[in-house]
Structure 1
């Protein structure tokens, strides 16, 4: 063996030859997760990001433009806008989680029962779902708010009720698809009980698209909750909440653009990030 051949033997094999090349997530997906992580940290540990009081302001510092002292500027009462956005994230995000939980749990249960039992129950549930889907989600949520009353929690529950039909239809279609597979038929043929097979085989293999829908609905829920807060159905002043902050700044659009623009950008970024994560989950599920 020549020296050159010995060198060739000792050379490390490239990742492309072994098929073990590492793939990093796309930059857009990483930024989306980063945006969601920052929003969650705002909600859980707001003191790490701001030391200003979100409720009490300094009147002498009212309507100051964004600066080093106040990164998002101040509002008409001299309150630091960044502090109000950071502290308001707890209400907005928790409302989004409540809305998604209501739609996910109720809709998944209805879709699971309809797709697995079939027959008259399937027809009944799907006709109710069709009626709910025919009504615009915001109008359905507004009807629920009128019945439940105002407040962030009630608004979140109302938004969740508006998303039940979408979860139920998607879950039902996935359950019907999985229910017809060979391994599910084999589980029933080997003596598996109905609810045991549903829990072990049907439900876990039907949740991929449902989880992707939940990610989309999380962003949509935050947007809807902010919309209702903007209309006055959510949090009440002086408590900070993203939609309420935008509503409070609309009277100063001509002179203090940051009061509506910056909280609005935060809402847009979180909603877009949730949508990007949802698309990633959908592709992985395929």
Structure 2
């Protein structure tokens, strides 16, 4: 009898917790499927991620090599997005360019998340002169326009998709630091944190076990929101010529290469531009949904 009671005491709470988590997940899925715009955004991002990881699934054309006789062909069954001035298949270049834009956006968000969260964590948990010094540094970053700051960093690091992604990430450090600091200060003043300090726990232990995990919700939501912004910023830098060099099939560079032929070959700028717009809007729509779920 005692064994049965013991088993129920340990097993039933776990089953109940698992059931609650499963119920919350199913409710979240139902909320997603009830929003057609969100479903469409998920499908668009799934296709783009698949294109980035497995471009051969969508096209067999070479994104670099072209044939002069196929130059500036309009969209057709043979070339869905048409061809450029050197006869390269534009759809293949857009598909193969997904890895550059998405990968760059991930690097940019990672840089802003890690560096900004670290600054906010130190400033909010330690306080005092360190807090004031770090926040003045953040104020300086916020005072500089994002594009100007990104261009300055690229000039120091050099051109390329990775350097452009790092530059975009540095422009978002201040935002992450501000959000992280405010959350750390809120958690730092909580009763359970004060109780942990009162029980004799060391500062580093409280920081890692209590303050950091409980202050990440808003930061994760911000990271989701910054993903679409990073894609647009990296494409902008590529359009200006500060991203990947030709003939790399980067989205911003594709739009820039088609500027000369806007009057005669509209598809060179319009179709890559529509792809960028669709991906950015889908990322923003999904990130808003994620931020709502995190805030629940």
Length-normalised TM-score, structure 1:
0.90
Q: Name the structure 2 match of 1:101.
A: 110
The CA RMSD over aligned residues, in Å, is 1.6
**Distance in 2 of aligned mates of 1:137 and 1:100:** 14
Aligned to 2:278: 269
1:285, distance to aligned residue in structure 2 (A): 2.5
- Give CA-to-partner distance per residue, 1:242-269, whole Å, 9 cap, x none: 0000001011111111111111111111
The 2-side partners of 1:283 and 1:182 are apart by 26
Q: What are the superposed Cα offsets for residues 6-60 of structure 1, whole Å, 9 maximum, x if unpaired?
A: xxxxxxxxxxxxx999524122222222222211111111001100010111221
**Alignment of structure 1 residues 182-193 onto 2, 5 Å:** 182-193=191-202
Q: Which residue of 2 aligns with 1:27?
A: 36
Alignment match, 2:222: 213
**Residue 56 of structure 1 is aligned with which of 40, 44, 65?**
65
| Per-residue Cα deviation, 1:202-232 (whole angstroms, up to 9, x for no partner) | 1111111111211222211111111111111
Q: Does 1:133 align with 2:117?
A: no
Mapping of residues 204-283 of structure 1, within 5 Å? 204-283=213-292
Structure 2 residues not aligned, in runs of 5+: 1-22
CA contact (8 A) 2:224 2:291 kept: no
Structure 1 runs not aligned, ≥5 long: 1-18
Q: CA–CA distance in 2 between the matches of 1:61 and 1:106?
A: 47
Q: More displaced, 113-122 or 27-36? A: 27-36
1:74 is displaced (CA, Å) by 0.9
Partner residue, 2:160: 151
- Cα displacement (A) at 1:157: 0.8
What residue number does 1:179 align with?
A: 188
SS of the residue 1:77 aligns to = coil
What CA distance in whole angstroms lies between the structure 2 residues aligned with 1:272 and 1:188? Answer: 45
* Runs of 4+ residues deviating >3 angstroms: 19-22
Deviation at 1:87, TM superposition (A): 0.5
Instruction: Tell me: CA distance 1:28–1:195, structure 2 relative to 1, closer, same or farther (3 Å).
Output: farther
